[in-house]
Amino acid sequence: MKRVGAQTIVFDKNIYIESVGTVVGPKERQGPLGPSFDRAYDDLYCGEQSWELAERRLMKEAITVCLAKGNVQTQNVDLFIAGDLLNQTVTANYVASELDLPFLGVFSACSTITEAMLVASTFIDGAFAHRVLVATSSHYGAAERQFRFPTTIGVQKGESASWTVTGGAAALLSTTRSPFRIRAATIGRVIDNGVTDPLDMGRAMAPAAFATIKQHLTDCGLSLEAYDVIVTGDLGKVGSSELKSLCYHTGMNLSERYDDCGVLIYDAEQQAFAGGSGCACCAVVAYSYFLEKMREKKIKTMLVVATGALFNSTMVKQNQSIPAIAHAIAIEAVT
C-alpha cells in the first residue's frame, strides 16, 4: 500500500469484492433498476413498526444476502464497518450489536459506503484483516423525519429536491479472488460551495465530486479515458449537470462515460424530483447494476465517486451553508 499524489492510496494486495447484497423498498423495486436488486419490500415499513426499525431490517437483510452469496459465516469475518444517516449511526450500531463482530462505525453522509470500502481496503492491505464486511442503509421516511420537513406537513418541494432511497447494501471485501478488484481509493476533502438550501443537495455536492475526480486523475497520472464509466452517488439531475459543467470548463469532458446513481434509480413517471439520494443510493446501484455490467464484461474499469452533504437540521435552521465531501473507489474487472 502506498500513497500517490496528495490524496490517493494504491493498494499493493489484490483486494476483491467477494460478494454483495442489496435490498430495497417499493419505489426502488418499481424503478428501472428493480430487477437488479436481490430483494425488495412492497411497503416502507418492511414488516416493522417504525421507519427506523424498517431501515435496520434493510441493513440486516442485505448482510444476510451478502454472506449467503459468498457462502461465508459470520465467524469468518474479521471486521464490520458500517454507517447510515440517522443520529449517532444507530442503524449500524444496532446491527453491529447483533452481529457480535469487531465494529467500526463510519459517517460521511451519502458517501459513507465508499468511506467504509476505503477503510476496509486499507485494513486488508495492511494485513490487519483478511475479510471485512461493509454495509450502509437509508430510508425515505426516517431521513425525511430527521433532515427535512416532515412529510405529513405536505411542504411543497422544488425540482432540485432529492428522494431518499429506501434500501440496504452490504459487501464482503477480502483477498479471496472474485471478478471485481479494488485498485485504488481517493480520500475526499470537505468543500463548502455556500449552498444553504437542504432541498438542493446536488448543487451543494457537485464541487466535491469534481474535486475528487480531478484529484484522483492527477494523483494517478490518468486521463478520463482510463475508466469505462465514472459514476457519482446521488447528485441527481441538477448536481450531475453542475458537475459536467465544472468538468467542461476545466477541459474535462465526461461525455458518455458518466452516470449518476440518483438519476438511474428512478424514472420520470415516479416523480422523484431531481432523483435519488441517501446512503443506500450509491451502494445499491453500484453493487447491483454496475457490478453486473462488469460481470458481463460490458465495462472493465469503473470509478465510483459517492458524494455526501455534511449537514444537519440544526445547522439548516441557523442558515448555515452545507459542506460536502466525495470519496472515490477504483474498481476493475478481473480477467
| DSSP string across 209-230 | HHHHHHHHHHHHT--GGG-SEE
- In the chain, the N- to C-terminal Cα span, in Å, equals 22
DSSP state of 35: G
Q: Which residue has the cell 445547522?
A: 315
pTM above 0.85, yes or no: yes
**Residue pLDDT, tens place only, 52-63:** 999 999 999 999
Report the alpha-carbon distance of residue 236 to residue 272 in Å, rounded. Answer: 10
Homologous superfamily of domain range 182-333 = Stage V sporulation protein AD (3.40.47.40)
CATH superfamily of 2-174: Stage V sporulation protein AD (3.40.47.40)
Domain residue extents for the chain: 2-174, 182-333
| Pairwise CA distance, residues 127 & 176, whole Å | 13
Q: Do 2-174 and 182-333 agree at the fold level?
A: yes
The pLDDT tens digits along the chain (335 residues) read 799 999 999 999 999 999 999 999 999 999 999 999 999 999 999 999 999 999 999 999 999 999 999 999 999 999 999 999 999 999 999 999 999 999 999 999 999 999 999 999 999 999 999 999 999 999 998 987 776 555 555 555 666 677 799 999 999 999 999 999 999 999 999 999 998 888 788 889 999 999 999 999 999 999 999 999 999 999 999 999 999 999 999 999 888 899 999 999 999 888 777 788 999 999 999 999 999 999 999 999 999 999 999 988 788 789 899 999 999 999 999 98
| Cα dihedral 116→326→58→14 (10° resolution) | -40
